[in-house]
Structure 1
Amino acid sequence: MSTPAGPPDQRSAGPLAPSAWNLPNYLTVFRFFLVPVFGWLLLAEGGHVWGYRLAALAVFGVAMVTDSIDGDLARRRKQVTDFGKVADPIADKAMLGMALIGLSIIGIVPWWVTVVILVREVGVTVMRFVVIRHGVMPAGRGGKLKTVLQTVAVGILIFPLESLPGSAVWLTAAYVLLAAALVVTVVTGVDYLIKARRLRATSARTAARKAARRVAREP
């Protein structure tokens, strides 16, 4: 007499991929919602009312804190997902991009600096989506250093420095940090381009295509 078939042995199945619906990804999505709120506060009344500027700095700080939290949570809870790898750096770029655009509108950051940084950020984001069929490109150490430099410099510039004694010193420090961030931004952008080309050339998808072409050419 045959025994009825039971449920499949779960030990034979591979580990389940973490769900995209998790706390780290919720924090990432939350940062996207903060972007328009931050932009409105930064530009309210022409961007020259210290109360609005402080409120914008508070929102910016919350966004940057959640940025440092969500990645640690994802790794600690083993909830790293492809969505998080892609959406997390985009959320950072959206917030920092809004900050740079706003500061340029107010007249604090030169437009050419904002344009160079945004071109790099948008280019890297587009590149991630172009090569996503070959694999996900997580943020590297250089990218994290770039984000830290940009965050500190932008945070200082958002603060209404004119209300501080010795504001020229703080402004000079912020511009030095921003210049360093600009250099790291360009260098890491070139590095991402090299990595993307290498990923595309060595991925399993490319190898399969090459194998299929070899088979097709065989008599």
Structure 2
Amino acid sequence: MGGTANGEADRRVWTIPNVLSMLRLALVPVFLVYLVLGDYVAALIVLVAASLSDLLDGFLARRLNQVTRLGQLLDPAADRLYIFAALVGLAAGGLVPWWIVVVVVARDVFLLVLGIVLANHGYGPLPVHQLGKVATFALFFGLPVIMLGLAVPALEPITEPVGWAITLWGAFLYWWAGVIYAIETARVIRIAPVAPDV
């Protein structure tokens, strides 16, 4: 999402899109509990509701000119938390290996370190790379496909290989995007600030 014409509005907290994002975040533990309990139908219903609210808050933010800095933080945070919750819930049930959890979480820890390095050099976070968006979408789509087979066993022969293919591809792209961020971070911190002409 971009900025708004009004800088003051950009700092608002209580907008309709932000409230929807907060509700989506509040549903993360509900989603995780259903997963751990093995109620995959209920977990999928929560995930679908969260995904629809994600689409709705993005549409409303642009339509109502309510794109805010908080919303720009909440949206990716919610996406990552649902991915983590899905991975942890499925791994806890022995349905996916823990190494896939480590791979995805390690990448975000890696980006956090890059963010600290940038901050120490006086730079803000790098803009989101398109590849990172594709990777997040792949993970956000692949894991529910795996869950669909658990909720509807008749579909599992199809959904399990398809879901795993998308999830593994998403994990690969996730790290590929991380490497791109690392290269861009190294490039940025090498550039010395240019002193203004007196």
Asked whether 1:172 is paired with 2:164, we answer: no
TM-score, normalised with respect to structure 2: 0.80
2:184 corresponds to 1:195: yes
Counterpart-to-counterpart distance in 2, 1:53 and 1:166: 13
User: Percent of aligned positions with the same letter in both sequences?
Assistant: 31
Q: Of 139, 142, 145, which aligns to 1:150?
A: 139
Residues of 2 paired with 1:126 and 1:24: CA distance? Answer: 30
Structure 1 counterpart of 2:64: 77
TM-score scaled by length of structure 1 = 0.73
Aligned counterpart, 2:7: 16
Residue 71 and residue 163 in structure 1: after superposition, are their counterparts in 2 closer, same or farther (change >3 A)?
A: closer
Q: Could you tell me how far 1:20 is from its partner in structure 2? A: 2.7
Q: 1:69 to 1:126 in 2, by over 3 A?
A: farther
Determine the C-alpha separation between the residues in 2 that align with 1:66 and 1:81. Answer: 17
Cα distance between partner residues in 1 of 2:177 and 2:158: 29
**Residues 166, 27 of structure 1: CA spacing in aligned structure 2 closer, same or farther, 3 A cutoff?**
closer
CA distance in structure 1 between the partners assigned to 2:145 and 2:26 by the alignment: 22
Q: 1:154 to 1:127 in 2, by over 3 A?
A: same
Q: Secondary structure at the match of 2:154?
A: coil
Larger Rg: 1
Question: What's the CA shift for 1:89?
Answer: 1.1
What's the CA shift string for 1:23-45, capped at 9, x where partnerless? 2222222222111111111111x
- Of the three residues 12, 21, 26, the one matched with 1:28 is 21
Q: Judge which range, 120-129 or 52-61, deviates more.
A: 120-129
Gaps of 5+ in 2: none
Aligned residues: 189
Kindly state the Cα deviation for residue 141 of structure 1 after the two structures are TM-superposed.
1.8
Q: Residues of 2 paired with 1:28 and 1:166: CA distance? A: 31
Conserved? CA contact 1:82–1:136, under 8 Å: no
CA distance in 2: counterparts of 1:82 and 1:184, whole angstroms: 26
Which segments of 5 or more consecutive residues in structure 1 lack a partner in the other structure?
1-13, 213-219
